[in-house]
Amino acid sequence: MLVLASSSPRRQELLKRVTAHFEIATSAVEEEGSTLAPSWHIPPLDLPSNYAIDPEAHPTLWAWRKAVDVTGQLADPEHRLVLAADTVVIAAGKTLGKPGTDGVAVEMLAELRGKKHYVATGGVLLRAAAPDEPPLQFAVVSAVWMRSYDESELLGYVATGEPLDKAGAYAVQGLGGRLVERVEGCYYNVVGLPLCEVRETLRAAGVEVGSYPAGGYCDFCPLKANQ
């Protein structure tokens, strides 16, 4: 049985597009912090040098930490696979997390305005019965260009409350999509779960997945070339 280590309604809805058979478990590792380190290698993200981030902020690392935390909660880990993901927004030289307050959200969106930034989602698929073994892992990077929105539009968006629990202070699938000029790469990666990578990772582990949609999951879908 597949277990999704996420309380995010967005990730839960996205995963349903790939497979209908999974359970939900949640982890507080992201909020509480962790120094747990894997014994296996996590490749650096494919980013320009001026956008490189600290390995400690790598989303695959935090996805793994979430997955390990969830395995410790399972009463019956045998025959369970834990899928976890983490998404970060990367401006030049730093990552932007969830703002938490209106003031920080305004600062983040002002920094992103009229510029390109990157969104990276890292994920792991971990055997719950053997959390110390190297998991299947993936990391997907998309480039996002923001519009040159004016101050009133920025403040109006922040006033909706939507940015507060979103990395980078915007939700591309929500009202925040109005601030986005274009996305280059996987759109659903920016939402929080790169569906092609997730589907191929689950297939590699023998998890039953649904049919690949004829038009792909989004315009970028790399699997289209193989259909």
β 116-127/94-96 pair status: unpaired
What is the mean predicted confidence (pLDDT) over 145-157?
Answer: 97
pLDDT band at 5 (very low <50, low <70, confident <90, very high): very high
DSSP 8-state class, residue 55: G
**Confidence band for 219, pLDDT divided at 50, 70 and 90:** confident
Percentage, residues of the chain above pLDDT 90? 80
Name all domains of the chain by residue range, CATH numbers in brackets: 2-211 (3.90.950.10)
**Spatial contact of 46 and 83, defined as CB atoms under 8 Å apart:** no
Do 148 and 182 form a contact (C-beta atoms < 8 A)?
no
Inter-residue contact 50 to 112 (CB < 8 Å)? no
Degrees, nearest 5: CA angle 109-168-41 = 145
- Kindly tell me if the per-residue pLDDT of 83 is higher than 80: yes
Q: The whole model's pTM is what?
A: 0.92
pLDDT (average), residues 212-222:
77
- pLDDT-derived band at 213 (thresholds 50, 70, 90) equals confident
| Pair of tokens at residue 77 | 């880990």
Distance CA 114, CA 1 (A): 44
Beta bridge partners of 96: 89
pLDDT at 61 over 90: yes
| Structure confidence at residue 222 (pLDDT) | 64
Q: What is the CA radius of gyration of the chain?
A: 17
Q: 212 falls in which pLDDT band (50, 70, 90)?
A: confident
The pLDDT-based confidence of 224 (bands split at 50, 70, 90) is low
In the predicted model, is pLDDT for residue 218 greater than 90?
A: no
What is the reported pLDDT for 71?
93
How many other CB atoms are there within 10 angstroms of residue 116's CB atom?
A: 16
The answer to whether residue 226 scores a pLDDT higher than 70 is no
Q: What would the pLDDT profile of 30-51 be if each residue is shown by its tens digit?
A: 888 999 999 999 999 999 999 9
Mean pLDDT of 130-149: 96
Bridge partner list, 142? 119
CA atoms within 13 A on the CB side of 165: 6
pLDDT at 223: 61
Residue with token string 């998890």 = 207
pLDDT of 16 higher than 60:
yes
Active site residues: 86
